Structure 1
Amino acid sequence: MITFLIYMTAVMWLCLTPAHVNIPSAQKILFHFHGVPYNIIPFQGFSIEFFLNIVMTFPLGVYIFLFNYRTPFERTILYGFCFSLFIESNQFIWDYLLNLQRLADIDDLITNTLGTIIGFSLMLILYQNGWRKFLQRLMLIRH
């Protein structure tokens, strides 16, 4: 639980504070609402940011598995999507209120959800292929 709280704190810091690092992103056609940029057109271009979002949410899928390995795959997708929607909508709101220089982006919604799915899937594969006893030591709910 402690590592999960540290992970969530790190993700919130990375996503909901002013941009500390300027990672080059793909050129995109952006829309604006009262000066706040957002992107609703998916896959206009790929950059390192695309892959970093997958890496950032990969642990969420791992934690979902460790909290309850019986979580249905569809629910894992929903958790990843809702978590990403929370981040993106908060980036939009806080940029509107405080000009944090953040961008709400449909690509982030997709890649964050994908990262969660990949993390959960990898844990499921490991669990079914010889790592069961090791992983059970890390789980909150045991078989």
Structure 2
Amino acid sequence: MAADVFVMTPRPPVRALALAAVFAIGGAALIVAPTPGVWRTIFAILGGLVLLVAVLLGLLAFAMPRRQRVTVSLDDAGYRVDGPSGVRVGTWASVTRVTAVPGRLTLHQGDNERIHLVSPGGPTLQMDALGEAISRRLDANRGYTRFEG
């Protein structure tokens, strides 16, 4: 079988993006506020700072989901999970059990070691496809065949 690759990315942080938009509007309003004398300079500086915070928050909101991306590669020999916490590699022969709850698969290796594959947005079609692929790989490793009749 060819290798299966699944890439799971968290949903974009909508609240952070909305907050960045509010800060941007507030900062722009402070910059163009019609105020007399020295207050005009103070409001412009304050508005520029608020606008800078909005830009930084927006950039962080776009960067964080990319950093939390998890790539799961499955082949005939085993699996490889590459994520923010590092790389985990294992063989199908070492998997003793697989448990599933909506949005999460857990690969058990013996009594102590677990590899949790969590869908950031809860149950998804991609998570279902990953579960099916793991099932097929484990069946093939153990010599099981599927009866479809």
Question: Same fold by TM (over 0.5)?
Answer: no
Q: Which has the higher strand share?
A: 2
More RCO (CA 8 Å, sep 6+): 1
Give the TM-score of the pair, scaled to structure 2: 0.27
Give the TM-score of the pair, scaled to structure 1: 0.28
